Structure 1
Amino acid sequence: MAGRRLDRTERSWVLYDVGNSALVLLASSVIPIYFKSLADGPALVAWSYAETVASLIIALLMPVLGSMADMQGMKKRFVLGCVLTGAVATVAMGIPTAPMAFLVVYVVSSVMLNTSMVFYDALLVDATTDDRMDEVSSQGYAWGYVGSTIPFVACLAIVLVRPFGISMRTAMQISFLVTAAWWVAFTVPLLRNVRQTHYKPRQDHPVSRAIRGIGATARKIWADRTMRYYVVAYFFYIDGVHTIIKLSTSYGSDLGIDGTQLVLALLVTQFVAFPSAIAYGRMGSRFGTKRMLLAGIVGYTFITLFAAFFLRTAAEFWFLAIMVGLFQGGIQALSRSMFGKLCPKDHANEYFGFFDIFGKYAAIMGTFIVATMTQLTGSGSLGVFSVVILFVVGFAVMWRVPERGRAEEEAA
């Protein structure tokens, strides 16, 4: 089945990744550099704490919102609400000039972006079938990487060239507007063509029912041995992945690497990640999702060690960016598809809400560890090195995830 062309529903689902990835790319490259110019000093610690706050808010919201979104017809409504709110916040980032005010608006935009992606991830079970999940999930990340470069290159040109003598602030305001418009435009196919086919019946008092159901869902996840080992492993290894994505530009900037070099290197990451993510999905279907996830964890361990001990120049940052491109999309895509195959389809959002808790609390831990270690030691390199232990633990637990056949998945 791998390699079959996407149908209209699958394409529409994939296109949302093209839309939201534009903001993801801007937030991991240009925005930290712009914030550093507002902060007028070292920005790694403040940026790390802002990312920690955003992750904590999402982790607290998602169990309740996820359970509510599983009800009939609710997934796409939550997506729409998050996208519209997030787009307004993205445009509003061009207004503040004070560092703290900018971080507050950024946190709102980040929360809406990442919350929408939880509902989007849960729609994977509605957009395709189990035997297609590795392929379709990987296509989403792949096209998200390459598609996001279109508005990003336009924004980058505006920021670097600054036509008609516009200021940096005006260039960033235009960039925020372009990125928000791109995000909204590529949400439309998802809302039009993807139907929520797996759902729970609508109920009275959905908030109170959702809160009461959180404990039951947690017990179900923990009672399933395969799911239990998988989410624990995911908690640790995805921590390092998110930390590297969020802090790479800020870390490189604090090392004194030119901002233009940082941004261009991350642009190369997108193009490397496009074929790599697709190849990863097909190898997952052929060799097994678990094996390919283990390979990705090993790759990220090497990336982290390189960043901690060898990253000093722009050329070395370029090498690191290419290495990240080889593994980033694959490990994220197969993590999403593996969980989608393990969870019950009519409770997908509820389960993906917990899946996101593990990812977001891990992101809290990773960015907090880097910020704390950097403050205590005065060395960003040691802060980055502290992330390695999380990949090691993630690998060890993933190694113990029991293999489960189709009959066992359906029974679960």
Structure 2
Amino acid sequence: MSARTEETAEDGAGRAGRLREQRGWYFYDFACSVYSTSVLTVFLGPYLTSVAKAAADAEGFVHPLGIPVRAGSFFAYSVSLSVIVAVLVMPLVGAVADRTGRKKPLLAAAAYTGATATAGMFFLGGERYLLGGLLLVVANASLAVSMVLYNAYLPQIAEPDERDAVSSRGWAFGYASGALVLVLNLVLFQGHGSFGLSEDMAVRICLASAGLWWGAWALVPLRRLRDRAVVRDPAAAAVGTGWKQLVATLKDMRRHPLTLSFLLAYLIYNDGVQTVISQASVYGSEELRLEQSTLIVAVLLVQVLAVVGALGMGRLARVYGAKRTILWSLAAWALTLAAGYFLPARTPVWFFALAAMIGLVLGGSQALSRSLFSHLVPRGKEAEYFSAYEISDRGVSWVGPLVFGLTYQVTGSYRDAIISLVVFFALGFVLLARVPVRRAVEAAGNPVPERI
């Protein structure tokens, strides 16, 4: 066999192995996205709020650890607390993954911790709002840690020119999974009487089933993804703990200021995205007085259109570049929130229209942000850098929920709370527009794709 033939065979084997890993990688989004959809976006917000209200005093306040908290803000504050836990853990896990190359066992530990906490939500009920808050914090933080490791695989399993497409397919798999499970949830919730279940029990089954789904489908990527050997740098700093490791990661990022500039823009606008995802059901149920079944149908519409949006915006990025396509999506997000402020109560059709607008921009803005950031990460620092990236991803952003909760606490209006989030998209747009992404890719030492 000639040298050229051997090289061609090796390239073919490499492509086959890469495709196998990519297909396995898609299935982690398929596994965990049901948590983001069924639990965080649809059921847990209204349900945990109702549990907190059942435990509230005459003035509508609960008192976790003796702190007076309006029952309607407890869910938002729990989401904020979860990111504090995640911030302590993610940089440490990311640094360990990069230095040891053992992403897969760490991914398994995070995935099954989150899946177990989610399955444990079956035991919520009565006035157990503290249990609900604890399980939410554990599940959200575990999801964040697992996504650090999952995202860090992207630069290793996809060539630069295929990352937008691979990332978009991953999000599409996740939204397809969310839509499928939501259909099953809708059947169970709407027909709970015919199944001999109370509405409360039906909700708890929907919450717990998301944990079982997460754990079962996580087996696919854990079988197909593989760890890479790492070249140990004797001069590398030892792994720190919590905040110390985060500070060390950010100090390292100072050597790549353009990467840090993109990350700042992303953290701000994605904080808005994740807050809308986590608080939309509370806004729909508490402010717009919509039934739970209406909220489920709306989120199902978001999931279906997000598949279309993720793949469609991936195609737009091939022509116009990822940065420009993301900027368009941020403008659409701001207009969507402005429209949401004026939605009339008890009018499902307008809420469905709003859901359609969100769905078309949701998947694409997230998928392209992930693939764009992957080009800005220095080789060998994937998990560590993605730990900082993940701080504001997948419903664990803390500033947005805090602003949402405080706005409601001060004004008593969810409309004021939802419109307060526009600032995240406006500021994120301005900061991203100022980042020279081609120069940032070169500065990170990576090849520049034809379209970026």
Given the alignment of the two structures, is residue 32 of structure 1 paired with residue 45 of structure 2, yes or no?
Answer: yes
How far is the alpha carbon of 1:119 from its aligned partner?
A: 1.2
Given the alignment of the two structures, is residue 81 of structure 1 paired with residue 109 of structure 2, yes or no?
Answer: yes
Q: Which structure's CA Rg is the greater one?
A: 2
How far is the alpha carbon of 1:7 from its aligned partner?
A: 2.2
Partner of 1:111: 141
Query: 1:156, 1:368 → 2: CA distance?
Result: 30
How far is the alpha carbon of 1:408 from its aligned partner?
A: 4.5
Native 8 Å contact 1:239 1:365 kept in 2: yes
How far is the alpha carbon of 1:155 from its aligned partner?
A: 2.5
Partner of 2:424: 390
Native 8 Å contact 2:256 2:443 kept in 1: no
Out of 238, 248, 259, which is 2:292 matched to?
259
Native 8 Å contact 1:73 1:196 kept in 2: yes
Per the normalisation by structure 1, the TM-score is: 0.91
More displaced, 102-111 or 318-327? 102-111
Native 8 Å contact 2:53 2:72 kept in 1: no
Query: 2:418, 2:248 → 1: CA distance?
Result: 37
Given the alignment of the two structures, is residue 12 of structure 1 paired with residue 24 of structure 2, yes or no?
Answer: yes
Query: 2:143, 2:278 → 1: CA distance?
Result: 14
Query: 1:290, 1:129 → 2: CA distance?
Result: 18
Unmatched 5+ residue regions in structure 1?
Answer: none
Partner of 2:161: 131
C-alpha change, 1:55 and 1:360, in structure 2 (3 Å) is farther
C-alpha change, 1:133 and 1:23, in structure 2 (3 Å) is same
Given the alignment of the two structures, is residue 96 of structure 1 paired with residue 96 of structure 2, yes or no?
Answer: no
1:174-230, CA deviations, whole angstroms, 9 ceiling, x for partnerless residues?
323432222122212211111233745399996449987654432332332321221
How far is the alpha carbon of 1:349 from its aligned partner?
A: 0.3
1:258-279, CA deviations, whole angstroms, 9 ceiling, x for partnerless residues?
2111111110110011111011
Amino acid at match of 2:189: V
Query: 2:446, 2:180 → 1: CA distance?
Result: 44
Native 8 Å contact 2:144 2:396 kept in 1: no
RMSD: 2.7
Query: 1:359, 1:177 → 2: CA distance?
Result: 23
More helix by share: 1
Matched residue of 1:363: which SS? coil
Partner of 1:276: 309
Per the normalisation by structure 2, the TM-score is: 0.84
Native 8 Å contact 2:277 2:395 kept in 1: no
Partner of 2:445: 410
1:43-70, CA deviations, whole angstroms, 9 ceiling, x for partnerless residues?
5411110111112211222111111111
C-alpha change, 1:198 and 1:385, in structure 2 (3 Å) is farther
More displaced, 202-211 or 94-103? 202-211
1:229-283, CA deviations, whole angstroms, 9 ceiling, x for partnerless residues?
2112112111110110010001111111121111111101100111110111122
Out of 275, 294, 309, which is 2:342 matched to?
309
Unmatched 5+ residue regions in structure 2?
Answer: 1-14, 55-59, 61-70, 448-452
Amino acid at match of 1:410: G
Native 8 Å contact 1:126 1:196 kept in 2: no
Matched residue of 1:320: which SS? helix
Native 8 Å contact 2:391 2:397 kept in 1: no
Matched residue of 1:14: which SS? helix
Amino acid at match of 1:187: A
Given the alignment of the two structures, is residue 165 of structure 1 paired with residue 196 of structure 2, yes or no?
Answer: yes
1:294-350, CA deviations, whole angstroms, 9 ceiling, x for partnerless residues?
011101111111112335332221111100101111111111111111102311000
1:80-107, CA deviations, whole angstroms, 9 ceiling, x for partnerless residues?
0011111211111111322222221222
Amino acid at match of 1:87: A
Query: 1:79, 1:381 → 2: CA distance?
Result: 38
Amino acid at match of 1:330: G
Native 8 Å contact 1:51 1:367 kept in 2: yes
Q: State the identity %.
A: 30
Amino acid at match of 1:35: L
Native 8 Å contact 1:142 1:274 kept in 2: yes
How far is the alpha carbon of 1:22 from its aligned partner?
A: 1.0
Native 8 Å contact 2:79 2:401 kept in 1: yes
Query: 2:197, 2:231 → 1: CA distance?
Result: 52
